[in-house]
């Protein structure tokens, strides 16, 4: 659970979400709308964006702010380093 110091240092937000999370949800909305357009299912893009925000709430409330970025960077970085380690030397 969040501590008092964290509440003092975090920007004001709604359920742990801030402006950048809402901007990301708009990005998800646009991308899902464009992907679903050929299937004539673009009306599903709104529930997809809302589901993304709802899934993000517990992550934002429980963990520190940049945990998603760091996790993706670690997964990509570990794979790149592993491939570089096993690459033949010239």
Position with higher pLDDT, 58 vs 49: 49
> Rounded CA gap, 40 and 33, in Å?
9
Q: Residue 41 phi/psi, 5° resolution? A: -120, 25
Nearby residues of 22 by Cβ (< 8 Å), 6 or more positions away: 53
> Rounded CA gap, 87 and 85, in Å?
6
The band of 10, judged by pLDDT with boundaries at 50, 70 and 90, is: low
The band of 39, judged by pLDDT with boundaries at 50, 70 and 90, is: very high
> Rounded CA gap, 18 and 51, in Å?
16
Percent of the chain clearing pLDDT 70 (strictly above): 64
């Amino acid at each position: 659970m969040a501590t008092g110091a964290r509440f003092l240092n975090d920007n004001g937000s709604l359920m742990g979400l801030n402006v950048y999370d809402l901007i990301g949800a708009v990005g998800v909305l646009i991308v899902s709308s464009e992907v679903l357009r050929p299937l004539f299912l673009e009306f599903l893009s709104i529930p997809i964006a809302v589901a993304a925000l709802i899934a993000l709430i517990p992550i934002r409330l429980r963990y520190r702010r940049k945990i998603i970025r760091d996790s993706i960077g670690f997964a990509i970085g570990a794979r790149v380093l592993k491939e570089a380690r096993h690459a033949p030397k010239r």
